[in-house]
Structure 1
């Protein structure tokens, strides 16, 4: 009985999702819980698994189309549908076998053009799968075939690149929708086809023998130079030095020429991301080829472990750094001034000069940031905090802390703990305002958002009830949500419901910034870089002295509609006092 695949609810406030890519095509078999398609929402990108085993009989929502929660995305047929659809094919293929014996084919063997009718006949009788030109952009109506990567009679695998196509906006590869044999090419190179037009026909692998004779045909032609008995005559005219025709065996070098077809095969393996790489998009393959990155050596960080563009860029940067690393070793004997010259030229970003469509997440971030500035009256107050005591405690306890809890002890958990304690004392900063209803809600829990620099943009997962956690609990939760966010494994419900947000801009060396409030919250705290600076302190014996101290700027952006400047100052004062006191020994077991 057919099973309907519907759009699941991917979060409390999520009402719709956009299909970004189908991982299976109509007619393909799927297993229970096997990834079927990728969906993007305002909060998260994820895969939708198949609810049943069977055959994907119909795709209802195409790529780049949006569907509401609960609406039908596709239909999975049961096992009988798979067997039924496959049964007629062998019969038709069997009918195709006697056709070579028909008088038509001997008559078409005259020129080499006989190869074209042969696959066409097998394609027509085998009812092969048509390879159509997909929609490659909203305004793209046609594409030009620039190069066929396979010839008629070649075998192809599912998702293996079949043809390169160029449009007004993009050059890309079209993969084969099924495994089998390329029976017919309908659009030649440099010819143009409309979107939805048939480019080729791929049929069952049983049709391969029809094209097989074509392959041996050139073989005998190359074999003709091989039977040259010239190597034997060479010893006879040995006295005659004119036997320099002996280089004639050099034409035997063409013998390796057949090995050249093997080279493209190797390239195909690499281009397809064979080995551990799995299927990757044409864009990633092209970028990997440009950067000289072996896809089979990469571990993907995308959905389902797929290799993303950023993975290739990171691998290329590591390779460049590795090449530059031996330079200092070699430069040990050379003047020291040459070493910086090797590092002086970083590779430019591949994004230079390109125009790309905004991802759904980036478009959502852009919209919400502007809305936040339009909704609330925002300003920022900054204080400077001496965290020397925390730095000393951290250096003393970080080794034991990591061994005991399995995460590194950074400054962030100290700031998080001090923040939730300050929020409990100053609930106006942990509130939300409803102007239309004329109400303000002082939240009874501290749901702490942590801004994470993810590959797709800034994402803010939320640690619910952060006020109930100790220092170790916060450290583990922060590390957990940050890791799952960067690897696209965070749940949609973990990206909403925050009452206050921390953003650690200091992780990239910034001293401070003026962060934008994450609506409907009324406050966000920016953490600057912890740096050592000379500071004047009062010594009981020496009086005012200048000493190096670990200092940090804390920048609180707040909604002036409900939080006054004095409220912000009191909140920051409480935070400063807690951090400079540095009384975290009990939390660290010291």
Structure 2
């Protein structure tokens, strides 16, 4: 029997520590591989940690509510075989040292410490995709940070994967040589599916290479070659050449959050640099510190198109292919699912917003004396929607079309479609029906800001019952908003513009706004949609009625 120490992995982008939320095992429990051990929370999400081995729990470290550092011991097991740690507590931090100290291999590491442990490798270790979110069944592989033949240390970054809510960095649970990688960026990988196969010292966790190895994106390096020190030493001159030669940088994909470490992001914020304009030289276009330096050296400007060498009207040649992966693909899938599953009906009405604008100007003038925040038009539109829903509760609802069940909600959890550096997100203003205009405005600003800076929690990005999608000053004349499935309605105000209209037989200039709204025609009839929008119109054209009983 041996001792295995499971350490807290990096469960987020460069996370240095995580809060222990709950234990799912206790000392004395026998656990199976991939069984849930504990829940930990980072700034982005709550993550379930699963067991990498089968064994008996001999110790747990930390109490719920305590912050644990990445790489610190979390659970100790008694396992069959050598484990990854000796009985002495001090070698716990080094995963391969106890294995090297076994009698059978004791003489070999002394000859060439950097290479011989690989030659003495007695088994394979398969790292499987852990559950990186609450009940996540699969995740999308965004980028690899290692390749076949690389020697990696414990806790070294292996890959980035993306769930519906966040991008997570996966680190190595062992030290060894990468034998195979399963999957290419953009591919969905099921939780529990093999991700990386290592050649390691000791027995590993499988007796032979997994069946999925032939699907690796690179062929496994022959075992006879991996232990040789020459390839490892040859890598250093290659790096020098790469630094001396011009570095190939990959332009960022519009609408997709650029890949960068927290340190790079912090430095970019301090320098006032928008990462979306910085080409990256790392794997999958990851932005490094050198990329920031290069961006500053050329004047901190967005990448310019190559200067034309001929006429202003010279013909352009060539094409550019951009793979739609990561969050942009998630958005695309959600939009396609919504259109495919929901028969939309769109209704547009023009609304005279002159009185609302006058009231808003009056309240904002008072706000200078009271210290309250300025109001934009959204709290008024939100309130009109809330009041109009009182007469038509079937519109404040979610529809499970597979079960055939419509759930009508008493509370109005208002989704606010927001464009963020990570793409389109819908943060939620909860219990909008219980908020005054100032509270509504503050909460819209808070959740929208959290979505834009990436600090929004899971519950702040889900659970809406009806959505507003406002294009602000870009609102155009009319648009056809797509319903946020499984809701049944979405309201889309367009920009407010001054127009000449006829009022009481006179031509006058009024501030007019078109309101574009879409409804699930399976639930909302055209008549009901029109009644709902006309009710909103009446409330906004007589805004003193918005907060009346």
- TM-score, normalised via structure 2 length: 0.52
Give 1:288 deviation, angstroms. Answer: 0.2
Is structure 2 residue 340 aligned with structure 1 residue 370?
yes
Q: Equivalent of 1:277, from 251, 264, 280?
A: 264
Q: Residue 346 of structure 2 aligns with which residue?
A: 380
Q: Deviations over 1:235-261 (max 9, x none)?
A: xxxxxxxxxxxxxxxxxxxxxx99967
Give 1:444 deviation, angstroms. Answer: 3.2
Structure 2 CA distance for aligned equivalents of residues 388 and 176 of structure 1: 66
Q: Residue 85 of structure 2 aligns with which residue?
A: 83
| 8 Å CA contact 2:85, 2:98 repeated in 1 | yes
Q: Residue 119 of structure 2 aligns with which residue?
A: 124
Q: Equivalent of 1:544, from 489, 497, 506?
A: 506
Structure 2 CA distance for aligned equivalents of residues 482 and 163 of structure 1: 42
| 8 Å CA contact 1:159, 1:176 repeated in 2 | no
| 8 Å CA contact 1:389, 1:581 repeated in 2 | yes
Give 1:367 deviation, angstroms. Answer: 2.0
Is structure 2 residue 442 aligned with structure 1 residue 472?
no
Structure 2 CA distance for aligned equivalents of residues 471 and 370 of structure 1: 36
Q: Deviations over 1:134-165 (max 9, x none)?
A: 99xx9xxxx9x999899xxx999933899999
Give 1:471 deviation, angstroms. Answer: 0.7
Structure 2 CA distance for aligned equivalents of residues 526 and 379 of structure 1: 13
Give 1:415 deviation, angstroms. Answer: 0.9
Structure 2 CA distance for aligned equivalents of residues 200 and 50 of structure 1: 43
Give 1:464 deviation, angstroms. Answer: 3.2
Distance 1:387 1:259, change over 3 A: closer
Give 1:71 deviation, angstroms. Answer: 11
**Aligned residue runs from structure 1 range 524-535, under 5 A:** 524-530=490-496, 532-535=497-500
Distance 1:48 1:468, change over 3 A: same
| 8 Å CA contact 1:426, 1:571 repeated in 2 | yes
Q: Equivalent of 2:377, from 411, 420, 423?
A: 411
Structure 2 CA distance for aligned equivalents of residues 445 and 535 of structure 1: 39
Structure 1 CA distance for aligned equivalents of residues 196 and 406 of structure 2: 56
Q: Residue 221 of structure 2 aligns with which residue?
A: 199
Q: Equivalent of 1:512, from 469, 475, 478?
A: 478
| 8 Å CA contact 2:473, 2:495 repeated in 1 | yes
Q: Residue 483 of structure 1 aligns with which residue?
A: 449
Greater share of helix residues, 1 or 2? 1
| 8 Å CA contact 1:525, 1:557 repeated in 2 | yes
Q: Deviations over 1:433-456 (max 9, x none)?
A: 799999977643333232233556
Structure 2 CA distance for aligned equivalents of residues 361 and 73 of structure 1: 32
Distance 1:29 1:319, change over 3 A: farther
| 8 Å CA contact 2:475, 2:493 repeated in 1 | no
Is structure 2 residue 112 aligned with structure 1 residue 95?
no
Q: Residue 426 of structure 2 aligns with which residue?
A: 460
Q: Equivalent of 2:518, from 557, 581, 590?
A: 557
Report the secondary structure of 1:410's partner residue.
coil
Structure 1 CA distance for aligned equivalents of residues 110 and 409 of structure 2: 80
| 8 Å CA contact 1:159, 1:175 repeated in 2 | no
| 8 Å CA contact 1:393, 1:585 repeated in 2 | no
Structure 2: which 5+ runs fail to align? Answer: 26-30, 36-46, 54-73, 87-94, 130-138, 160-176, 187-194, 201-212, 249-258, 266-275, 306-310
Structure number with bigger Rg: 1
Q: Deviations over 1:28-84 (max 9, x none)?
A: 8523xx64479xxxxxxxx9979679xxx99749xxxxxxx9996645741885532
| 8 Å CA contact 1:524, 1:557 repeated in 2 | yes
Distance 1:73 1:287, change over 3 A: farther
Q: Residue 7 of structure 2 aligns with which residue?
A: 30
Give 1:411 deviation, angstroms. Answer: 2.0
Structure 1 CA distance for aligned equivalents of residues 238 and 338 of structure 2: 60
Distance 1:482 1:2, change over 3 A: farther
Give 1:514 deviation, angstroms. Answer: 2.3
The size of the alignment, in residue pairs, is: 412
Structure 2 CA distance for aligned equivalents of residues 194 and 436 of structure 1: 35
Is structure 2 residue 525 aligned with structure 1 residue 503?
no
Structure 1 CA distance for aligned equivalents of residues 298 and 485 of structure 2: 37
Q: Residue 58 of structure 2 aligns with which residue?
A: none
Q: Residue 569 of structure 1 aligns with which residue?
A: 530
Give 1:554 deviation, angstroms. Answer: 0.6
Structure 2 CA distance for aligned equivalents of residues 266 and 29 of structure 1: 42
Q: Residue 448 of structure 1 aligns with which residue?
A: 414
Q: Deviations over 1:342-379 (max 9, x none)?
A: 9x99xx9x974446588456434422331112xxxx42
Which segment drifts farther, 86-95 or 290-299? 290-299
Give 1:430 deviation, angstroms. Answer: 3.4
Distance 1:437 1:508, change over 3 A: same
Aligned alpha-carbon RMSD (Å): 6.8
Q: Residue 158 of structure 1 aligns with which residue?
A: 156
Give 1:410 deviation, angstroms. Answer: 2.7
Give 1:416 deviation, angstroms. Answer: 0.6
